[in-house]
């Protein structure tokens, strides 16, 4: 009988609040007969996201040593000998690095110790859209991985794959495999549909950062209130722009219409989503070139039965693919975003129809079994 396929996942922090898709992927692979171990430097959310097979290698160092690595050797994994010994002991068939910088570090270690192990690097957005422009040494490292026979790549969207091709990464080395959503969301289906005269509840989930575009949503929401007063907007997230967004609410005089929810446990999101009527993802192409890749939050909202209004950029265009599940709008255009909201108010039947369609198509297109089989097949192929 053939032994289980053994995969070692390398991610610098396991698991950050915004990286549920990595945690869910590992658990789904585990359920499907693949043995998984996680190598990380920082263990986070251990109670909320339990997983027993985690190796933590500390990055605690003196100030001088930290400065040395930052200035002269920032593409090396800390505690290399400990990491090397663990890899030798575990003997994985594949190392799967999540995010480009982590891929570069583990690739350098594999090269240094001449390990005969295949490496998959999964990119997710900033590591392709922004970092190669900011750091030429990082781009050089990507091209070195591209030339190596033992290294392969994944992208969660066609959009990001095309960005990778523009950096001269090999098309034959890139596999498009979407991120998985948590199956728990399928258990929470919206069934109390909105009717004219009811309070319309709008929802956005995401970090409060420039790329997520919440300020344009707040302005569009304020504009929409002039046409229909019985509305409420909920923003779920955290980030550097939180104070700025709250101040904008005061300026627009919509404080009593907007609710901010911070750092909500992922397990509680399905219930929150199902209590709303429309999901809105107003993301933009940020000043540093950051652009929304594949929004798992939008997919999860669709799975719960919410139609989605999203900006027509990046990987969002691969989620709302036609007018039967939601609406695509021009980024940063407050009037068009407001018109999309008002269009639903004027046509309540569209909310009901798009809700059913969004759920059906999201469950079908982002089915866990299909995605996990794709990943498993990729591991076995390489």
Strands annotated E in 92-226: 94-98, 118-122, 151-155, 174-176, 200-205
The residue ranges of the chain whose pLDDT is under 50 are 1
What is the pLDDT at residue 49? 94
Q: If we measure between CA atoms, which residue out of 100, 153, 155 comes closest to residue 130?
A: 100
E runs forming strands in the chain: 6-10, 13-14, 35-40, 42-43, 54-56, 94-98, 118-122, 151-155, 174-176, 200-205, 231-236, 258-261, 278-281, 308-311, 326-329
Query: If you compute the radius of gyration of the chain from its CA atoms, what whole number of angstroms results?
Result: 22
In CATH, which of 3.40.50.2000, 3.40.190.100, 3.40.630.30, 3.60.140.10 is domain 184-365? Answer: 3.40.50.2000
Distance between CA 306 and CA 355 in Å, rounded?
Answer: 5
Could you state, in order of their start, the residue ranges of all structural domains in the chain?
Answer: 6-180+367-381, 184-365
Model confidence over 273-321: pLDDT tens digits? 999 999 999 999 999 999 998 899 999 999 999 999 999 999 999 999 8
Report the Cα 44 to chain-centroid distance in Å. Answer: 17
As given in the structure block, the two tokens for residue 187 are 């258990």
Is the pTM value of this prediction over 0.75? yes
Q: Which fold has domain 6-180+367-381?
A: Rossmann fold (3.40.50)
Beta bridge partners of residue 303, listed in sequence order: none
Model pLDDT, residue 78: 80
Within its chain, how far is the Cα of 100 from the centroid?
A: 14
Confidence at residue 1, expressed as pLDDT on a 0 to 100 scale:
42
Domains 6-180+367-381 and 184-365 in one fold: yes
């Amino acid at each position: 009988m053939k032994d289980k396929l053994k995969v070692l996942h390398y991610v610098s922090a396991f698991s950050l609040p915004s990286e549920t898709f990595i945690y869910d992927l590992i658990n789904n692979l585990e359920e499907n007969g693949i043995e998984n171990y996680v190598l990380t430097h920082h263990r986070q959310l251990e109670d909320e996201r339990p997983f027993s097979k985690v190796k933590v290698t500390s990055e605690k160092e003196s100030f001088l040593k930290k400065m040395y690595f930052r200035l002269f050797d920032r593409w090396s994994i800390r505690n290399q000998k400990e990491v090397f010994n663990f890899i030798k002991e575990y003997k994985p068939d594949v190392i799967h690095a999540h995010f480009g910088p982590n891929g570069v570090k583990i690739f350098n270690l594999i090269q240094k110790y001449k390990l005969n192990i295949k490496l998959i690097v999964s990119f997710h957005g900033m590591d392709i859209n922004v970092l190669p422009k900011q750091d030429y040494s990082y781009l050089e490292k990507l091209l070195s991985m591209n030339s190596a026979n033992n290294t392969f790549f994944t992208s969660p969207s066609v959009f990001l794959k095309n960005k990778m091709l523009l950096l001269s990464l090999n098309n034959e080395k890139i596999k498009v495999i979407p991120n998985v959503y948590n199956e728990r969301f399928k258990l929470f289906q919206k069934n109390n549909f909105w009717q004219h005269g009811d309070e319309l509840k709008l929802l956005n989930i995401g970090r409060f950062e420039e790329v997520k575009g919440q300020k344009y949503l707040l302005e569009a929401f304020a504009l929409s209130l002039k046409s229909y007063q019985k509305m409420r907007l909920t923003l779920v997230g955290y980030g550097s722009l939180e104070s700025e967004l709250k101040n904008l609410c005061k300026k627009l005089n919509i404080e009593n219409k907007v609710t901010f929810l911070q750092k909500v446990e992922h397990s509680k999101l399905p219930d929150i989503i199902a209590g709303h009527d429309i999901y809105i993802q107003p993301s933009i192409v940020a000043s540093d070139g950051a652009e929304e890749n594949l929004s798992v939050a939008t997919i999860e909202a669709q799975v719960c039965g919410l139609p989605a209004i999203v900006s027509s950029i990046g990987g969002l265009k691969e989620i709302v693919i036609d007018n039967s599940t939601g609406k695509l709008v021009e980024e940063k255009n407050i009037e068009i975003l407001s018109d999309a909201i008002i269009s639903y108010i004027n046509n309540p039947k569209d909310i009901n129809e798009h809700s059913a369609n969004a759920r059906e198509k999201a469950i079908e297109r982002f089915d866990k079994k299909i995605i996990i089989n794709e990943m498993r097949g990729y591991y076995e192929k390489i």
